[in-house]
Structure 1
Amino acid sequence: MGSPTGPQRQFPSGAAYAEALQHTQLCFQHPELKGARAELTRLGLPRAVSGAFASVFSLTSAASGQRYAVKCFTRHVPDQEQRYEAISSRLALLDPAGLSQPWKLGFEYLPDAVRVGKDLYPVLKMDWIKAVTLSAWLDAHHSDRPAVGRLADRFEALTRDLSAHGIAHGDLQHGNLLVASDGTFRLVDYDGMYVPALAGLGGTERGHRNYQSPLRGNDDFGAELDRFSAWVIFLSLKAIAVDPALWNRLHEPSGEFLLLTEEDFKSPAGSTGLRTLLAHADRAVSDLAEQVRSLAFQPLELLPPLDLAVPGPRTSATATPTPPPAGATAPGTGGLPGWMSGHLAEQPATTPATPVTAPPGGFHTRTALDVVVAVLWPLALIAALLLPVARIATALPGSLIPLALAATATAFARSRRTERVRSRAALDALTKQLAHVEDPAKAAAKLHKERTRFEAAEKHRQATYPRTQDELTAQYHAALRDAEQRRTRKLRDIAKKIDGLSEERRRALAKALADKQSAYIRNQLGRRSIAQSPPHGIGPKLVARLADDHGIRTAADFTGYRTVQNSSYNSTGAVLVLPGGRRADVRGIGEAKAAALVAWRQKVLAAAVARQPTTLSAAEQQPVEQNITHRRTQLTSRHTAVESETETARKQAKKRLEEAREHLARQNTAAETSARRKRQEFSRRTTEIQQNNTLHATLTTDVEAARSRQSELTYACYLRFLYRAS
């Protein structure tokens, strides 16, 4: 079959297998399948149930009368023969008496078993069983709570059988779990089954998407493959056993799931189905739903088997709280609130503002410069008074020079005081710190505005998401309706044409016979020469004139006559009517002789009609039959093509829906992640505002105090300090 890395063998399509299985005595060599009778469609073709990798046909053996399901492969499966041999060997070792129920089916892998065209291909021959799928069984029995409960227990026992023998089915889902009439399971479709002998090989499929963990990949392959899907199915069965109304509430008619879908596992927060089960009044249902939700994003190898794990009770709201770990910030002790622990990224510790030591108010401890200035002022006053008396400076400005020098010296001495330098430095430092702390009132108003706008946008987004999902579903159903309407219209037209083939055949045969009779009569008329048996009154001269002048030699050369009025002689004459409608005016032939010619022709015609053939030979019928057979084959092929086109349209519509849903889910998940981060940011900013509020108030008070202290260091205060008693 080729290796995974080698060239992949091309397999026939399901339609090609169906064509080959019309002649099972030719395409099969196996004694049980050679000459087997296939279940047929309305068109007389073998009925196929097609999947991703194969088409399955129902065949009844001509040798034993046993009915089999024969799987014909349409796609390459790596190591196919090795896998089936290992699975067959492992299942053969299972003792039926040691199993909880007869869930395993007999099957046989037959290499080179069916011939399609010139090549031979393998098939899988399986026992045919009378059972219904799990979803079909629930459609009919979901209201029977005890029966559903027993079925849930049997399912758990089935998973225990598999786990005990190191086996994983690989695709546990409603279509592969059949329920027999005795209420026990039959497990079908072993294509992706894992047995210990296959350890080390990769997977061949991912399983049904509505039953698999979001973390399962295409290459996952091991004994843990069934664990997530087992929990999903067990939850569904137990929930329906408790509350049968859940089936009609969460299951869609003909839906490819039980109660939950892939979207419920990928986006639990936006899952209607999962929320319904989590909020269910019955604790067993809600606990199981909580278990499934917790398992959705755990690695497969860490998932507990269904038979070994029981969902533990969730922590009650009244349970004794666990004390926080050492170093954790408790609520009310500053920092983030306790409920936010683990929800926000760890924030760096806020560096407190460096405290600024405020200098004491006023001036203290005179320096030598202060003493000089204090002495300078009295001297300046004396000089200002004596200068005019000594007539050194007669003008008033000149007498003020000593005072100006004293004032300048005072200003210089004041500027050198450490109290004034420290006060200015402290005010500058506090002002800078205050400038770096945002105004809490403005920050809170801005934050409130942003939060209000964000929450409105989030509310709109959350309301839009389900509407968009509904729109996608509506588009999908509309596409299905369009495809079905096209299919019905085309099939109705094809059926009408098929039904009309009998009438078309009858008309074609009648036309062929009519053409044959017409040719025979023309031949007979052409063989009766006028010269050999001339009508009464037609002599040799007229015979020659008819032949030489007008080409009328046999009964086939004219069809009748018409009377004409002879104006010259005021009499009635006649002209002969030739094939094609032309007329021949033959000299010497009047109405009587024309009538004799026509009567002679009628006798010849009557004799030919009496002897004309009344049936077609087999060779003459063959073209008609071949044409009808060809038309029937064309219409049958067109019927098959319409079904194929419709199925393709359905798959394309489904693919578009799934892609659109996945895209929408990714967008929603990204939006939820962004919203969560945004709310975390709002919480962080709220905490910062709360922390900054106290700091801002403290700094504002300190700045005001620093300005007040600076007002005690004015020029006048310095002068008072110079002459104040120590």
Structure 2
Amino acid sequence: MGSVTGPQRQFPSGADYAEALQHTQLCFQHPELKGARPELTKLGLPRAISGAFASVFSLTSASSGQRYAVKCFTRHVPDQERRYEAISSRLAQLDPVELSQPWNLGFEYLADAISVGRDRYPVLKMDWVEAVTLSSWLDDNHAHRFAVERLADRFEALTRDLATHEIAHGDLQHGNLLVASDDTLRLVDYDGMYVPALAGMGGTERGHRNYQSPMRGNDDFGAQLDRFSAWVIFLSLKAIASDPALWNRLHEPSGEFLLLTEDDFKNAGGSTRLRTLLAHPDRTVSGLAEQVRALAFQPLDILPPLAAAVPGQRVAATTVSGASGGGAATAPGSGGLPDWMAGHVSPQATPPPTAFSGTVPDSFRTRTPLDIATAVLWPLMLGVAVLMIVTGLSAPPIASGAPLLAAVALTALARSRRVERAQARAAMAELTTELGRLDDPVKAGEKLRKDRAKFDAAEATRTVDYPRAQDKLTARYHAELKEAEKRKVRKQRDMDKKIDALAEELRRTLAKTLADKQAAYVRDQLSRRLIAQSPPHGIGPKLAARLAAEGIRTAADFTGYRPVQNTQYNSIGAVLVLSSGRVIDVHGIGEAKAIALDVWRRDLVASARARQPTALGAQEQRAIEQGVASRRTQLMSQRKAVEAETDALREKARRQLEDNQKRLTRENTVAGEQAQQQRQEFGRRTVALQQNSALHRTLSASVEAARLRQRGLSFPCYLRFLYVGR
């Protein structure tokens, strides 16, 4: 069976491997693995420990009885074969005698080792070790301070082994550090390991985020990869050794960390865990915590190795002779690094301070003619003063002291002309000038502390405000959805009412149309009955003509009469009511004739109503029903339009939410990048302040030493030099 090739090779799943491993005598050809017995689950299937891109199975060799961990890959790893062969070759070259403990396991990359289906795939064969993870070991042993302290030292020794051989594991964390029965460490999972033969290649992983520097990127790959995680693990072990209660206080059961998490590195100002360690009374613990906080946002290539933290391995701090004795330790955050960390910063980060190159003479050298003249002058002036006192007893005392004052003045002049004095003044001026150019370390440290505290407070606020802003956007989005839904329900309810009312509207329309049709029929029948052709009783041709002259020709032209009181004749008259509602008084039409007209009309109405249609025609009814159906269709379309309108509002709200979230994320990312740059700047300022403090101490000591040496150039020393020559 041939192997599958190609840059993006497809690999089986963990379940596929488990199925194949049920028949190890068929899927393996390697003599140690062929017929090996896999560890089984309760269901009788090979037990798998699944990871990001592989599944690991425990197999016991049928030939040797040796137990192995066999890693089967589930996804493509770039340059997989080259990487594992380089790692395997480098580890095989290690001399066990040179290692602090047997931390490296047997490691062999086997190409085309296992058959799954019709293809063969590579595996990693590693020695199985009976050990527990570091976090499990701490669960059981955190109260044993000596054991934890010893394990911390062994961990440091392991990192020193790696650094000595230019190896980086790439993912130092509690799950990849196993503690054997003799309390020595074993290192597992070499997938992301760096060895010199892989220089120039990129990394395949970023490691467990709770142990990695926030500055580590996907492409970081080199011998310095483990430095930050080493400091984090070492801090945790030393803290637990000093104070076992910290394990239960800061660690969470089954937590994927020891004492600190990724959030503690990124948000040091708001981290309760980190603040607890920074404030710990044990100066080693607080100092290590300060170191981790300082290193979190420094480039990986300048991070100091962990070996600098162990007393037996520390590099001596840079000191200046006679300048640093008795100095108080620098407190964390005061501008420099704590005194226990002296020498922990790599040479690239803290170059030694520049020492003063000038010299200050501490005595006078060769005498000049002026010095000789001054030496001769003193006895002469002294003799003159004595003579004046002896010969001039009445002279003022000050006059006898004039020669001595003149000798003092000349001596001071001669002393000021000495080259040693000029050299001392020049040297002192240079020192004081250099010292004056430096910032006061105490003030600078206090400013750095305040700036960092202000920054941490702002970052803590930003860290809290960001999720709040996200929640606010989400709440507004849901409120808009709720309002859109309420608007939809309200409109659809109105539409449903109108749709439900269509049946009643149809009934009313049909009834009204029929009534209108019947009324029209009656009007038509009445309009056909002329009064002149079939006059009612008592209405002759003359009255019919008078009625016609007033607009009443047919039974349809009037609707009845109204009786009126005729006051002139004290009788009851009548007026006729036209169809328009207007009333007219027709001469000759009294109450009796009006009643006759009204009875005639009523009889005609009753006769017409008896013959009126009692139902609408099919076409008429269909037209009405089609109109109502059209109205129903219109309302249903409007109802669907409401749903579409609501969907549009939902989509608009969703787009606004996404746009606002992107904007908020972008702003937070920019703020995070600025914060990261600011943390780097704080790191640089811390290092610069340390250098400045060391240089300030050096120059201060040099100034003090110069002052001490200047005492050899004092006036009494000059007088002694005049006569003794030194």
| Structure 2 length-normalised TM | 0.51
User: How far apart in 2 are the matches of 1:326 and 1:660?
Assistant: 39
User: Cα offset for 1:562?
Assistant: 1.8
Instruction: Report what 1:457 is aligned to.
Output: 458
Alignment partner of 1:602 is 2:602: yes
In 2, Cα distance between equivalents of 1:476 and 1:650 = 9
Contact residue 361 and residue 710 of structure 2 kept, 8 A: no
Deviation at 1:507, TM superposition (A): 2.0
Which residue does 1:428 correspond to in 2?
Answer: 429
Q: Who is 1:633 aligned against?
A: 633
> What does residue range 615-654 of structure 1 map to in structure 2 within 5 Å?
615-621=615-621, 623-654=623-654
> Judging changes above 3 Å, is the alpha-carbon distance between structure 1 residues 703 and 453 closer, same or farther for their aligned structure 2 residues?
same
Following TM superposition, by how much is the alpha carbon of 1:489 offset from its aligned partner in structure 2, in angstroms?
A: 1.1
Deviates more, 1:507-516 or 1:599-608: 507-516
1:495 aligns with 2:511: no
Q: Is the 8 A contact 2:510 2:621 kept in 1?
A: yes
In structure 1, the residue matched to 2:118 is none
Distance 1:327 1:681, change over 3 A: closer
Measured after TM superposition, the shift of residue 635 of structure 1 is 1.5
Which residue in 1 is equivalent to 2:373?
372
In the other structure, the counterpart of 2:252 is: none
**In terms of mean alpha carbon deviation, does 666-675 or 634-643 score higher?**
666-675
Following the alignment from structure 1 to structure 2, what is the Cα–Cα distance between the partners of residues 345 and 480? 57
**For each residue in 1:695-716, what CA deviation from the matched residue of structure 2 results, as whole angstroms up to 9, or x when unmatched?**
3333223212322332442344
Cα contact 1:356–1:429 (8 A) shared by 2:
no
Report the alpha carbon displacement of residue 536 of structure 1 after superposing the two structures with TM: 1.2
Contact 2:337/2:690 (<8 A) preserved: no
CA contact (8 A) 1:356 1:430 kept: no
Structure 1 residue identity aligned to 2:519 = S
For residues 527-553 of structure 1, give each alpha carbon's deviation from its aligned partner in whole angstroms, at most 9, with x where no partner exists: 1101101111111121112222x2211
Q: Which residue of 2 aligns with 1:213?
A: none
SS at 1:574's partner residue? Answer: strand
The CA RMSD over aligned residues, in Å, is: 5.1
Judged with a 3 Å threshold, the aligned counterparts in structure 2 of structure 1 residues 544 and 298 are, in CA distance, closer, same or farther, namely farther
| Counterpart for residue 414 of structure 2 | 413
Counterpart residue number, 1:476: 477
Q: Deviations over 1:375-430 (max 9, x none)?
A: 24445566788999999xx9999999987775565344322322212211221222
Q: Which residue matches 1:113?
A: none
The answer to whether the Cα contact below 8 Å between 1:353 and 1:433 also exists between their aligned partners in 2 is no
Cα gap change, 1:642 to 1:298, in 2 (>3 Å): farther
How big is the shift at 1:559? Answer: 0.9
- Counterpart of 2:534 in structure 1 is 533
How far off its partner does 1:358 sit?
A: 3.8
From the superposition, tell whether residues 345 and 656 of structure 1 become closer, same or farther in structure 2 (CA, over 3 Å): farther
Residue 548 of structure 2 is matched in structure 1 by: 547
Distance 2:572 2:302 in 1: 139
Measured in 1, the distance between the counterparts of 2:538 and 2:372 equals: 181
Which amino acid is the alignment partner of residue 601 of structure 2? R
Alignment deviations for residues 88-135 of structure 1 (CA, whole Å, 9 cap, x no partner): xxxxxxxxxxxx9xxxxxxxxxxxxxxxxxxxxxxxxxxxxxxxxxxx
| Distance change >3 Å, CA 337–CA 404, structure 1 → 2 | closer
Q: Read off the aligned partner of 1:503 and give its amino acid letter.
A: E
Cα pair distance change 1:691/1:292, threshold 3 Å: closer
Residue 599 of structure 1 deviates from its aligned partner by: 1.0
**Measured at CA, do residues 572 and 665 of structure 1 come closer, stay the same or move farther in structure 2, by a change above 3 Å?**
same
**Counterpart in the other structure of 1:576:** 576
Q: Deviations over 1:116-157 (max 9, x none)?
A: xxxxxxxxxxxxxxxxxxxxxxxxxxxxx99xx99x99xx9x
1:557-706 matches, within 5 Å, as: 557-621=557-621, 623-706=623-706
SS in 1 for 2:507: helix
1:558 Cα offset (Å): 1.2
Distance of 1:300 and 1:709 partners within structure 2: 59
Q: What is the aligned partner in structure 1 of residue 447 from structure 2?
A: 446
One-letter identity of the residue aligned with 2:532: A
Provide, for residues 262-316 of structure 1, a one-character-per-residue CA deviation record: whole Å limited to 9, x for no partner: xxxxxxxxxxxxxxxx99xxx99xx99988989xx999999xxxxxxxxxxx999
Q: How far apart are 1:479 and its partner, in Å?
A: 0.8
- Secondary structure at 2:355's aligned position in 1? coil
Note the residue ranges of structure 2 that are not aligned, 5 or more in a row: 1-15, 17-42, 55-73, 77-173, 176-187, 193-203, 221-228, 238-299, 309-313, 319-335
Structure 2 counterpart SS, 1:577: strand
Tell me the SS of whatever aligns to 2:613: coil
> For residues 530 and 290 of structure 1, do their structure 2 counterparts lie closer, same or farther at Cα, with a shift above 3 Å needed?
farther
* SS at structure 2 position matched to 1:485: helix
Deviations 1:155-202 (A, max 9, x none): x9xxxxx999xxxxxxxxxxxxxxxxxxxxxxxxxxxxxxxxxxxxxx
Q: Secondary structure at the match of 1:575?
A: strand
Separation of aligned partners in 1, 2:607 and 2:463: 94
Q: Is the 8 A contact 2:367 2:725 kept in 1?
A: no
Asked if the contact 1:424/1:710 (under 8 Å) is kept, the reply is no
- What is the CA deviation profile of residues 435-485 of structure 1, one whole-angstrom value per residue up to 9, with x for unaligned ones? 233333333322222222322222222222222222211111111111111
Match of 1:500, SS state, is helix
Higher relative contact order, chain-length normalized (CA < 8 Å, sep 6+): 2
Judged with a 3 Å threshold, the aligned counterparts in structure 2 of structure 1 residues 390 and 691 are, in CA distance, closer, same or farther, namely same
Query: Helix, strand or coil for the counterpart of 1:490?
Result: helix
Question: Structure 1: which 5+ runs fail to align?
Answer: 1-99, 101-144, 157-161, 165-277, 303-313
By how many angstroms is 1:503 displaced? 2.1
Alignment of 1:332-411 (within 5 A): 332-333=314-315, 350=351, 352-379=353-380, 409-411=410-412
Q: Give the drift of 1:576.
A: 1.6
Shift, 1:651, TM fit? 0.9
Q: State the Cα distance separating 1:326 from its structure 2 match.
A: 12
Residues 381 and 407 in structure 2, CA contact (< 8 A), matched pair in contact too:
yes
Question: Does the CA contact (< 8 Å) of 1:483 and 1:646 recur in 2?
Answer: yes
Distance 2:302 2:536 in 1: 138
Contact kept, 8 Å, 2:360 with 2:424, in 1: the verdict is yes
Could you list the per-position Cα deviations for residues 17-64 of structure 1 after superposition, in whole angstroms to 9, with x for gaps in the alignment?
A: xxxxxxxxxxxxxxxxxxxxxxxxxxxxxxxxxxxxxxxxxxxxxxxx
Secondary structure in structure 1 of the residue aligned to 2:576: strand
Residue identity matched to 1:628: V
Structure 1 residues 512, 596: CA separation in 2 closer, same or farther (over 3 Å shift)? same
The aligned residue for residue 510 of structure 1 is 511
> Letter of the aligned partner of 1:611 in structure 2?
R
1:237 match = none
Q: Are residues 499 and 290 of structure 1, via their aligned partners in 2, closer, same or farther at CA, if it must alter by over 3 Å?
A: farther
Q: Distance in 1 between matches of 2:388 and 2:681?
A: 77
User: 2:522 matched to which residue of 1?
Assistant: 521
Instruction: Judge conservation of contact 2:530–2:554 (CA < 8 Å) in 1.
Output: yes
Per-residue deviation at 1:646?
0.7
Whether the 8 Å contact between 2:525 and 2:608 is mirrored in structure 1 is yes
1:435 partner letter? G
Q: Give the Cα–Cα distance (whole angstroms) in 2 for the partners of residues 500 and 607 of structure 1.
A: 37
Name the residue aligned to 2:277: none
* Distance across 1 between alignment mates of 2:567 and 2:455: 111
User: 1:694 Cα deviation (Å)?
Assistant: 3.8
Secondary structure class of the residue paired with 2:497: helix
Alignment of structure 1 residues 56-205 onto 2, 5 Å: none
- What is the count of residue pairs matched by the alignment? 436
**CA distance in 2: counterparts of 1:623 and 1:371, whole angstroms:** 145
Go from structure 1 to structure 2 and tell me whether the alpha carbon gap of 1:327 and 1:367 turns closer, same or farther (over 3 Å shift): farther
C-alpha spacing 1:327/1:561, structure 2 compared with 1 (3 Å): closer
For residues 385 and 588 of structure 1, the distance between their equivalents in structure 2, rounded to whole angstroms, comes to 180
Q: Distance in 1 between matches of 2:413 and 2:495?
A: 115
Identity of aligned residues (%): 50
Rounded Cα–Cα distance in structure 2 between residues aligned with 1:327 and 1:562:
118
Give the 3 Å change call, closer, same or farther, for CA 630–352 of structure 1 in structure 2. Answer: same
SS in 2 for 1:559: strand
